[in-house]
Structure 1
Amino acid sequence: MKKKKIGFELLVFENASELSQNDHKLLQEAMNARENAYAPYSKFKVGAAVLLENGQIVIGNNQENASYPSGLCAERVAVFYAGANYPGTTIKSIAISASSSEHEVAAPAAPCGNCRQSLIEYEQKQKSPISIILGSENGPIYKCASLEDILPLAFNSSFLSDS
């Protein structure tokens, strides 16, 4: 038996003023998108902003439904919109911002498992990393260089065929 440790680097910023101008703008777009989220049940609003290689920014926010599985997370709304409207265009980064109308969200909320799986597929398909910027209402901001960082040992298409 062998024991293997898997880890990654995470940049932690005290506030948005420490971010690069591009990262700050992308996070602000995610915060703006968050405000239009439809979250009447959880009261937990999430916004996402995706930066494409052509400079286009695509936004999304969570869309809940009384039939809970019918809703969709902000990250997938934004990435699926990008894939549908800008097919083949590389995704450079995604910023995600969360808030709640019932309590302060003082730490960044990372993507759920479904979103991680959806995002890693885009990263694997384009063969280049997608950086992730995570923010909340207040508190620190996290940045990772790649989706692979937050989803090690990811499931991918290689498990589905011999090719």
Structure 2
Amino acid sequence: MRDRLVGAARTAALNAHAPYSRFGVGAAVLLADGSVVTGANFENASYGLSLCAETVALATASSAGRLREVVAIAVIGGAMDSLGVPRGFAVVSPCGRCRQVINEAAQMAARDLTIWCAAAEGDAVQRHMVSDLLPHAFGPADLGIGA
């Protein structure tokens, strides 16, 4: 499963729209039935309107009515070469905003999600749980809303 998800995230990163940072990110979300939903970062000249790959992938799952089915997520990223291909051997992990978005999906799915963090190239992969990356997370229960 890990290699399949990381591979799907690497493929998704090829579609990154990152003309400003030139840093392509791809994410792949595993659903309970084994299907995979992907996303790539989508930048905007008004930087605050940019979307991270993890958010795009989870929003895609949500728009299909499948947010509660999320089991795991993989994220990769790297500086883009002249052809727009993400490169590099440094492992990438979700930013703080994405950790919060992933946490929301975890609470909706009622499970602590596995997050596979990898580099754009090479074999380096790290396994984390969302609860490790975002301890003491804020979520629906804090608003008095059950997942």
Task: Determine which of 35, 45, 54 is the counterpart of 1:56.
Answer: 35
Identical aligned residues as a percent: 37
Query: Alignment partner for residue 36 of structure 1, among 6, 9, 15?
Result: 15
Residue 78 of structure 2 is matched in structure 1 by 99
Task: Name the stretch that deviates more: 125-134 or 37-46.
Answer: 125-134
Give 1:56's aligned amino acid: S
**Which of 40, 53, 62 matches 1:74?**
53
| Superposed displacement of residue 36, structure 1 | 0.8
CA contact (8 A) 1:48 1:60 kept: yes
- 1:110 match: secondary structure: coil
Deviation for aligned residue 1:89: 4.1
What SS does structure 2 have at the residue aligned with 1:96? strand
Query: CA offsets, 1:44-69, max 9 Å, x none?
Result: 00000001001110000000000101
Contact kept in structure 2, 1:54 and 1:89, CA below 8 Å? no
Amino acid in the other structure paired with 2:126: Y
Partner of 2:3: 24
Gaps of 5+ in 1: 1-21
Q: CA deviation at 1:160?
A: 2.6
Deviations for 1:60-79, whole angstroms, at most 9, x for unmatched residues?
00000001011100000000
Cα 1:31/1:160, change in 2 over 3 Å: same
The count of aligned residue pairs is 141
Identify which of structures 1 and 2 has the higher relative contact order when contacts are C-alpha pairs closer than 8 Å and 6+ apart.
1
Q: Secondary structure at the match of 2:27?
A: strand
SS at match of 1:148: helix
Opposite residue 92 of structure 1, the aligned amino acid is V
Gaps in structure 2 of 5+ consecutive residues = none
- Point out the structure with max Rg over C-alpha: 1
TM-score by length of 2: 0.87
Structure-1-length-normalised TM-score: 0.79
Q: Aligned AA for 2:125?
A: I
CA-CA distance at 1:104 after TM superposition: 5.4
Distance 1:80 1:157 in 2: 17
* Partner of residue 153, structure 1: 136
Name 1:65's counterpart in structure 2.
Answer: 44
The residue that corresponds to 2:125 in the other structure is 141
Q: Which residue of 2 aligns with 1:111?
A: 94
